[in-house]
Structures are given as structure tokens and as C-alpha cells.
Chain A
């Protein structure tokens, strides 16, 4: 009896118990679809989050006011007051105190209304220093970014994001035009190249002015020297943690705080954000995949159960086949192939269901699902493996039956 004939025989056995076979296949199918979906959901979310976070720029440390109470490294809430000032930023840019920090950009943001002609648009106005462009890894679409002179003279200039420019003027070709903020006219000197959006904000809808301009003119004098965030760029890939330590000690020193635990600021790295988010999603994925794998195991036990029923129901047939000359291996193979057929059908149908849901679900649940071809192939292999594994015992039992005992059974 060759493979084709074995397949024929097993297939007709599967078909002759259609309902039972379908129910068995269903168990495996659900398990496989669940594995594909959970792995896909984990991968998709992980990818979403890390692409959002990496849009921040590389080698970046983010200093924010207020202490962080959670140990995960994620930024804590924006603190009670503005514990960070422009002079903190200045101290951090000293190459003596902080040799591993290449660039520093202090930021001070508020939501303000911009006017241009009869256009009117409210957006985030960020006061910052010339190094911002480099630190945030941004590029210019046209014109110039603010320079040292603008900073020193608190010049009346502004750089717009592409969306802001379009909202105000209907075009991004706006260098030389004038925008009015708080009654003060500012000349547009440049437009930032588009950078999409990150987890919290639209990176193309903003207006950037010199920090000095925003401190003296646009924001109340009481908080003139305070800033909302200081971005630090490490000198190199390997220097991020050195930069982190230098920034911590400089700021503790400046703020007159002796214990790091009492710090009135929080420093987070992009890596820490990515790592935290990644590890959360990895844990979730592992958990969900574990649950899915359990359901596969249950499916496998279903196959074994059905195969055992099948063997005892067909004892007489086994006896007859043996009487007619079937060697034990032919019987074993017949039942193994039968189990593998159940596993394979479950695997293939489960993959179809899983992939179909991966396309249909994101629209409903709002997070992307990344179908991993490796996971699909692997789960089909696993499904067949489960069929075989859980088929071995029933098949061996069938093969071992003594011909006469099998033939005599009712």
C-alpha cells in the first residue's frame, strides 16, 4: 500500500465521518487562527509604537520637569511648576560639565492663535534655540531655521510646519510672509520638512520662534526663564548613558538637590521608551500566544480523542485488513495519515481565517495586525505535527491489535 493509496483510504475514512471530522478540525482551526492573530496583533502594535517613538529622533534624551514616580522610565506627569529653566539648558551645553552631550535644545511651548491676512489658526508655538533642528532631527523644506543672531536679538521671526503654513496661507511657499501672534508681527523665515506625527502630536502643525522671543514677548514675564522640556543629543550612540549621568548630576547640582531620588526633573531616553513599550507588548504577545497555544493543545487532544474513537469503532475493519494481509505499519500509517489530514485541514483553514481576520479586524479595533509569514507557516506545521503527535498513540494501538481479536470484536 503506497502513500497515494494510504491517502485515499484515510481520506475516505475522514469523509465518511464528516460531522465528526469537521468538529475536530474546528478545534485546531480556532487554535491556529488565534495564534496567527495574537502574534500578528503583538507584532503590529509593537511596530506602531516603535515607529511613533523613533520619530522623536535618535540619540535623544528628554528632560522634563517634575519627578517620575514610576520606575519604568516613561516620562512622569509634567510637574507642578516649571523646575527647568533656560540656564539649566545652558549649563547642560557646557562641554566641561557634560562632555558627552553634543547639543541641547530647550523648548517652551504654548498654544496660541496665529493670524495671517484674514486666516486664523491655533497651534503649538514652541520657543527654542537654533540647535533644536539638529536635536529633533528635523530638516527644512524651504528658507532658514532660526540662528544665534535671532536668538540673541529676540528677533521677530518664525518657522512654520507644513500644515500650519497650509492652514494659514493655503501654500507652503510662505517664506517672507508675516504672521501675527499676540499682536506682534513675525516674519516667516522658513518651513520645516514634513515629519508625520508621533504618539502625542502632529509634528507638522507647529510654529517655532527663538526662545528669547517667546520668553520676553509672547509669554507672561513671571515664567520668563522657565522652559517646558529640554532635549539633549548625546555625542554618539555609545554615549547615551554617560550623557544621561552627566545631565543628572549637572541638574541635581544646579537645583541644590543631594539625593537623586528627590530630583525635580525626569530624564527619559527614546530607547527607554521603545524598550518599555516593546517589553509591554512582548509580554502581552507571549501571554496571548500562550493562551492560543493552549487552545491548540486542546485541539490536539480533540484529535487524539476522535482517533481513539475511530480506532475502537473500526476494530473489526482493522482485523479484516490484517486478515487480508495488511502489515502493522500499513495500519499505523493509515491512522497517522488520517490524523495528519485532520491537523492539516485545521491548519490551512485556521490560517485562512487568521489572515482574513488580520485584514478585517484592524478597521474595527483600530490597531494594526502584522501577519507574519513565519508564524503562518509555523502554525500549519504545528497543526500537522499536533495531528501526528496525538495520532501516534491511537495509530499504534490499532497496529498492535491481534488480527483475530480485532476480527472477533463487535
Chain B
């Protein structure tokens, strides 16, 4: 993806959140999960989002991933205002530009590993033969070259999460969003998955990784801290 330039000639960041607020309503009860967040993430950055449980991290990721919309404020993704897109266009953006990795893996239990990995390509209308080849390549990259035909139930947690990473990278999106991807993994699998993120970062992908573990956050160059729906300082390592 080519970064678009804004009118003044300065290259726009991949992500630009301005005064972002998100209010959840359940019945008459309103809860402000994001209370005015300003955040810019440039192309190729590896950013960790840290914060205690309930601070609004997942809410933030859902917004960044175009899975949910802001109550107020603006979100520009690669120079375009997400508010301008309809449901079909948002689906296409998620399909082409974003790869998701969830804490719960979110694999479809009835499909073999490669069938799970090919899903984004299916909705991108890639021909069947290409889909299979690319799905298998993606599985090779995450070290599951011998597990194409296994269903999620036949794989360990770490392997399942690697299938999910393969699914996130198979469509070659520029932005990878991971919401506590290591939350359900043992330390060995955690290391595997974080190694994959390092690799992707090395290839120039933009990565936003949500975690509440300091060791995980330490893998990223930049760490953003969230508390009670507000950004609460950030640090950049040399």
C-alpha cells in the first residue's frame, strides 16, 4: 500500500485518531470506554498498547480494525476518513488492509488449518488454486508446514494461534492488529508468536499489539499506555 500524502505534502500516518470517543449504551446505562484519544501510528511502526483490564484497549483495537465505529471524533486510516465508508467498503478494508489476531484464536472448528487460513482470500475473490498455495505458504512461514490438514481441535493452543497469525498475514495486509495474542499461551508458544511478529515487523508491516504483560510490550519499539479510556503517556525505546 502506498501512503497517501495530505494536501500540505506531509506524509500522513497509517493511523490517525483525533479526539476519539466511544460510548457503550446498554439500556439507559451509558459507559464511556474511550474518552478522547489522540493517537498517530506511522507506517512500519511496532506499537504495544498496555493498560489494566477494562481500560479500553479492546475497544481501541476494534475501532482501529474498523469492526466498530466511534461515537465522536475522527479516525483516518491511510489518509481516508473511515466514517465515509459504508458496510461493504469497510468489509473490503478489513479484508485487504488489516490482519487480526485474537486472544481466543477465533478459528472455525469445522475447517482444516489451511481452510481457516484461506478465508480472507476467499472474500478477496482469489482463485481457488492460488488460495490453497498461498494458505500453505503462510502456514509454512509460521512453522506449521506439516499441519495443513489438521482441524483446530487437533492442534495445541500455540499451534492454533500460529494458524491465526498465518490467517492474519496471508492477505499481505499492511496493518496487523493483535488483541492479547499471547494471553492464552504458555511461555514457549508466546515466544514463537512474538518471534513471528518481530519477523513481520522486519518486513515493514505496521503492528499494533495489545497486552498487559510488560515482557510482551518490551518487544515493541513504542509502548502506549491506556487508563480509563485515556492515553496515559508513552515510551519509545531506543
Residues in chain A within 8 A of chain B (CB atoms): 1-2, 5, 12-13, 16, 316-317, 320-330, 402-404, 407
Contacts and interface: CB of A to CB of B under 8 A. Distances in A.
Interface stretch (B32-40, B122-130, B227-235): B122-130
A324 B122 CA distance: 10
B92 interface: yes
Contacts of B124: 325
A327 B106 contact: no
Nearest to B59: A404
A403 B67 contact: yes
Contact of A327 (B65, B68, B91, B119): B91
Given A324-B119, A328-B88, A404-B67, A16 B110 contact: yes
B167 interface: yes
Contacts of A322: 67, 91, 94
B74 interface: no
Interface of B: 62, 65, 67-68, 87-88, 91-92, 94-96, 100, 106, 108, 110, 119-120, 122-125, 128, 167, 171
B95 to A, nearest CB: 2
A320 B65 contact: no
Contacts of B88: 327-329
19 contacts: A16-B110, A322-B67, A323-B65, A323-B67, A323-B94, A324-B94, A324-B95, A324-B167, A325-B94, A325-B96, A325-B120, A325-B124, A325-B171, A326-B95, A326-B123, A327-B87, A327-B91, A404-B62, A404-B68
A2 B125 contact: yes
Contacts of B123: 1, 321, 324-327, 330
A1 B94 CA distance: 15
B100 A1 contact: no
Secondary structure of the B side of the interface?
A: helix
Nearest to A2: B125
A330 B110 CA distance: 19
A320 B106 CA distance: 7
B237 to A, nearest CB: 31
Given A12-B110, A324-B94, A324-B95, A1 B67 contact: no
B125 A1 contact: yes
Nearest to A12: B110
Contacts of A328: 87-88, 91
B91 A325 contact: yes
Given A322-B94, A323-B94, A407-B67, 19 more contacts: A2-B125, A5-B128, A16-B110, A322-B67, A323-B65, A324-B95, A324-B123, A324-B167, A325-B92, A325-B96, A325-B123, A325-B124, A326-B95, A327-B88, A329-B88, A403-B68, A403-B94, A404-B67, A407-B106
B67 A327 contact: no
Nearest to A314: B108
Contacts of A1: 122-123, 125
B92 A327 contact: yes
Nearest to A4: B128
Contacts of A316: 106
Contacts of A324: 94-95, 100, 119-120, 123, 167
Contacts of B92: 325, 327
Contacts of B120: 324-325
Nearest to B115: A12
Contacts of B171: 325
